[in-house]
Amino acid sequence: MAKERLHYIDVAKGLLILMVVWGHYELMCRLCFGINDPTINSLDSVEDLWVSFFMPAFFFLTGYCTNFSKRFIPFFVQGIKILIIPAVIINYTANIIEYLSWGESLLWIVKTSVKSFLLTCAGEWFVPSLFLARLIVWGLVRMKNSVVQLVLAVMMFFGGVVLYDCFPQIPEVWSYKHALMMIIFMIVGDFLKNKNIQIYRVGGIQWIYIILLVIMLLSGIGIPYITNRVSVELWQIPIVLLLALSGIQFIMYLSKKINCNSVLEYLGRNSLVIYLAHFIFYKIYLGLAAEWFGISPLISVALFVGVIIVNIVSCCILAMVLNTRYFKWILGKF
C-alpha cells in the first residue's frame, strides 16, 4: 500500500511542478527581459485550467505526507533541513554569482543577502510559507479535535485574505499571509491521512471542479487563486476553497489513473529543486533567446516548448548532482 501510494503522490507532484514551470514562463519573460509576445501571453492563459489549485495542492500533499506527531524540536529542525537549507543555498549561490557579475562589493552583497533572508527567507514565497504552515499545523494537530482544527484553519484563511487585501502596507515577512491562507489545505491533507481516506477514491468531486471551471471561464468571471500574487476577495473565499479542494481531488484522481510514470515520479521527487532552480535557468535561457520572440507565432511556440524542456532537463541534471554523496547535504540529507 505504501509503495503504491508513493507512485501516485510523486506523479501528482511531477504534474504540479510542470504547471509551476509553465506558469512562470511569461512572468520571467516580462519581468526579466521586458518581452511582451502575444503568442506567449496566449500560452500563459492556459494556466487558468489549474491556477486555482496547483499551489494549494502542494500544501495538501505536505499535510498528507508529513508526520506531525514528532516532538517540536526535531520537527522544527526537519523543516530547516528539507526546506530552508536547500532554498538558501541554491538561491543565494545564484544571487551571489549574479551580484559579482554586476561588480558589487562584498559588503553590499552581504548586507543585501542578510536583509533578503530576514524579510523573505530565500526570495520566493513558497518555501517560507510552507515552513511556517508546517509549524502552525503542528500546533493545531495537538488539539486532537478535527472540528476545532478545521474551524481555526478557516479563520486563519479569512485572516490571511484580510491581511493581504486590506493591509498591504504591513510587510509580509517570510510570506506569513500566504501561510495563513494555505494552512487549511495542509490540515485537510493531514485529516484524510489520519482517517485513511484516499482522496482519489472520493468519486465525483473532480466533476465539481470541471463544471465550476467551465462556468467561470465561459461567464468571464475572474478565477480566484493563491500563488505568488493572491487574487481572492472576501466574498470569493467559498469559491476559491471549493475550486482548490475539488481541483486537488482532480489532480490526485488523474495521478492515480497514471499511477506509474518514471519521468513524472522523478520530477515529483525532485520538485523542490526544480522549483528553486527553474527561475535561475529561465534567466539564462530566456536571455539567450530574447531577441527571437515576436518574430512569428511559430517561432514563439517553438521557443516556449524548447526553453521549458531545456529548463526541466537542466533542473533534473542539477537534482542528480545534488543527490550524489558529496552534495546531498544541500538537500537536507544528513
C-alpha cell at 3: 509503495
State how far the Cα of 7 lies from the Cα of 140, in Å rounded to an integer. Answer: 29
CB 143 within 8 A of CB 149: yes
pLDDT number for residue 262: 95
Cα dihedral across residues 129, 57, 152, 74: positive or negative: negative
Average pLDDT per block of 10 residues along the chain, 334 residues long: 66 98 97 96 96 98 96 97 97 95 95 95 92 98 94 98 97 97 97 88 82 92 94 95 95 92 97 98 97 96 98 98 96 92
Number of other CB atoms surrounding residue 221 within 10 Å = 11
pLDDT at 221: 84
CB of 79 closer than 8 Å to CB of 135: yes
Using the CB atoms, write b or e for 6-25: b if 16+ within 10 Å: ebbbbbbbbbbbbbbbbbbb
Q: Which amino acid is at 181?
A: M
Tell if the pTM clears 0.75, that is, is over it.
yes
Residue 226: enclosing H or E segment and its boundaries?
Answer: strand 225-226
pLDDT at 201: 77
Which secondary structure element, helix H or strand E, spans residue 231, and what is its range? Answer: strand 230-231
pLDDT at 206: 82
pLDDT at residue 2, as a whole number: 40
Report the SS3 class of residue 239.
helix
pLDDT on residue 4: 47
CA–CA distance, 37 with 86 (Å, rounded to integer)? 34
Question: What is the pLDDT, as a whole number, of residue 124?
Answer: 84
- Look at residue 199 in the predicted model and tell me its pLDDT: 81
Q: What is the pLDDT of residue 319?
A: 98
User: Whose CA is closest to 236, among 226, 246, 228?
Assistant: 226
Choose among 324, 302, 322: nearest CA to 314.
322
pLDDT given at position 123: 78
Q: How far apart are CA 163 and CA 179, in angstroms?
A: 12
Assess contact for 323 and 266: CB atoms under 8 A. Answer: no
User: Cell 500563488 maps to which residue?
Assistant: 227
- Which phi and psi (to 5°) does residue 230 adopt? -100, 125
Closest by CA position to 226, among listed 237, 215, 210:
237
Which triple of cell numbers denotes residue 175? 510570506
In this prediction, residue 204 carries a pLDDT of 76
Q: Give 224's DSSP letter.
A: P
